[in-house]
Structure 1
Amino acid sequence: MEKKKEEKKEKRKYNVPAVDSAFKILTLLSRKKFSKSNLTEIAKALSLTPTTCYRVLQKLEELSVIRYDQSSKRYSLGPYLVVLGERAKENILDLSVIEPYMEEITEETGLTSFLVNRIGQKKSTIISKVEAEQFGINVSVGRHFSVVDGAYGKSLLAFMDEDESDELIRMNDGLRPLSEEEISNLKEELKEVREKGYAIAFGEYIEGIAGVAAPIFNNRETVEMSIALVGMTTQLKGEEAVRMGERIKKVADEISYKLGGRVPFT
């Protein structure tokens, strides 16, 4: 345990500001609100100096991962990202294994399925989704959330190192602020998530929206991905939420095994 903590501390020491800034810019431009932004807007949103921001933008434009419109003086994502995205999708075996399960469980349950991946320390993003025909949840692939949000957040937090999950919960930068009582209750709930192997969120993050999620384990028994079913709270009441939780856990376990992961419970 102590060795793992030391390794994490070592990893956090190293930072490459230009790379960090470039990634933040690309992430910002991927958001609908900032999809076409000028230099001032980008620098302000990311707390970068205009000079630093401009230099990074210039390099990204040179590489065609962003584009600059001379008439509007605004930046947007560039054409080469389409190429990179397609190549990434072709090379990710995980998606080819996971997406058939998502299609099957969405058809079976009538709920929208999401595949969520942790990125960095504090965020998670939707990397694939299958919408239900009648009640599709309008959230796009690539949407970023705090790692503490939703049932999928709980399923990630529950299998982190306890010190790390406590730190993320204390940061309190999710969809809504948490009181001290809610933080305490969440920590207790994470113990149940570890025991059951799935998490439930029932309208506490987004009113009227409920979800169940289960972790996908890698070969180190750690979790970077979560698979979730999301719908209206009317669709996931009481025993139905429990039934869906057990169903999504079974799917997540099967995916973990197919990907060579090691599930630490049965």
Structure 2
Amino acid sequence: MRQGRHRVVKSEDQKDYVQSLERGLSVILAFSDHHPQLTLSEVAELTGLSRPTVRRLLLTLEQLGYVRCEARQFSLTPHVLALGYAYLSSLNLTEVAQPFMEEVTKQTGHTCSLSALDGHDAVFLARVPAKQVMRTTLTTGTRLPAFATSMGRVLLAGLPEHQLEEVLAGIMLTPLTAHTVTELACLRKILDDVRCRGWEIVDQQFEEGVRSLSAPVRDAGGRVIAALSMSVPARAYAMEQIEEELLPVIAENAGEISKRLGARLERR
């Protein structure tokens, strides 16, 4: 038998090794972004398995719902995501994020936070404090209005359109400072912009004298499940300075957390 690129060579003492399972997985792994659709012959060539073996495996995988066949072209179905779900769902988001949050704080000298959306609020899941403490004391579990905070806007912008409409329908756009956006049409435009660029900076809309910045954390399905954020004194950082010096650190580490959760990110 030819040696395929996904084939694993077992040693003599691996008596419990199930070769049919190895072959089935090698067939699944033959599909990729470069080869989303394959014929039986192409799968055989990529895996190094014989055509009769590949045929049996593909027909079995088709019956189980992992592949589909159209016009003699085989392709994976979304059901294959179930194979990795148990692993991904067992990952604790805060545990995955912790070292990257520590890196953000180390590089910037400012507290880094991780938050998730709950109704109309952004809720802190974890925080890595800096030596320099902001005037407002925020802890894990603290809830902030999503519409007026950078992390909240990143989370709102990540919602599917129908869910966003439901949330916006119930939000009270209360002025919290002289800078707070209180017009729904304006907020919608802001969220559209956040969705396009992939980050947000808020200038004193939640608290006078405080500017904040956030970037999204995505799961394996590409959904925004959290926001990585930071707040800094407005007197210490101009908006341009935040975008040039701090935002790249937040965005890079949010992206790294997303990758650990299985997300495939496109360059912006």
Report the TM-score range of the alignment, normalised by the length of the smaller protein: 0.5 to 0.7
Candidates 238, 256, 262, aligned match of 1:260: 262
TM-superposed CA distance for 1:216, in Å, is 0.4
The aligned counterpart of 1:9 is none
Q: Which residue of 2 aligns with 1:190?
A: 191
Contact 1:147 1:174 in 2 (8 A): no
8 A contact 2:173–2:183 mirrored in 1: no
2:124 aligned residue: 126
User: Structure 1 residues 239, 218: closer, same or farther in 2, change over 3 A?
Assistant: same
- Give the corresponding residue for 1:155: 154
In the TM superposition, what is the alpha-carbon distance from 1:145 to its structure 2 partner? Answer: 2.6
| Structure 1 vs Structure 2 CA RMSD | 2.5
Q: Give the whole-Å Cα distance in 2 for the aligned partners of 1:179 and 1:109.
A: 26
Question: TM-score scaled to structure 2, two decimals?
Answer: 0.58
**CA drift at 1:264:** 5.3
Gaps of 5+ in 2: 1-89
Structure 1 outlier segments of 4+, above 4 Å: 177-181
Residue in structure 2 matched with residue 37 of structure 1 by the alignment: none
Distance 1:255 1:135 in 2: 25
Unaligned runs of 5+ in 1: 1-90
Separation in 1, partners of 2:108, 2:224: 25
Identical counterparts, % of pairs: 23
Deviations 1:1-30 (A, max 9, x none): xxxxxxxxxxxxxxxxxxxxxxxxxxxxxx
Count of aligned pairs: 175
Query: Is contact 2:153-2:200 (8 Å) kept?
Result: yes
- 1:117 deviates by 1.6
Which residue of the partner structure matches residue 81 of structure 1?
A: none
For the 8 Å contact 2:213–2:231, the answer to whether it is kept is: yes
Specify the SS of the correspondent of 2:226: strand
* 1:198/1:246 contact within 8 Å kept: no
Deviation per CA, 1:53-105: give whole Å up to 9, x if none.
xxxxxxxxxxxxxxxxxxxxxxxxxxxxxxxxxxxxxx753222211111111
The equivalent residue for 2:139 is 140
- Partner SS state of residue 211, structure 1: strand
CA contact (8 A) 1:175 1:205 kept: no
**Structure 1 residues 197, 208: CA separation in 2 closer, same or farther (over 3 Å shift)?**
same
- Aligned to 1:226, what secondary structure does the other structure show? strand
Matches within 5 A, 1:54-69: none
1:218, CA displacement in angstroms?
0.7
Q: Distance in 2 between matches of 1:146 and 1:180?
A: 12
Q: Name the one with the larger helix percent.
A: 1
2:110 maps to a residue whose letter is L
Do the aligned partners of residues 179 and 207 (structure 1) sit closer, same or farther apart at CA in structure 2, a change above 3 Å counting?
Answer: closer
Q: Report the CA distance between 1:146 and its aligned residue.
A: 3.3
Aligned partner letter, 2:171:
N
Aligned 1:8-19 pairs, distance under 5 A: none
Kindly state the Cα deviation for residue 122 of structure 1 after the two structures are TM-superposed. Answer: 3.0
2:121 maps to a residue whose letter is K
Aligned-partner Cα distance in 2 for 1:180–1:140: 25
Q: Tell me whether 1:227 sits opposite 2:208 in the alignment.
A: no
Q: Secondary structure at the match of 2:147?
A: coil
| Cα distance in 1 for residues equivalent to 2:198 and 2:158 | 10
Letter in 2 for 1:118: L
Structure 1 distance, partners of 2:180, 2:242, is 25
Give TM-score scaled by structure 1 length: 0.59
Larger radius of gyration: 2
Mapping 1:60-209, distance limit 5 Å: 93-119=92-118, 121-136=119-134, 137-173=136-172, 176=175, 182-209=183-210
Does structure 2 conserve the Cα–Cα contact (< 8 Å) formed by 1:146 and 1:175?
no
Distance 2:148 2:181 in 1: 16
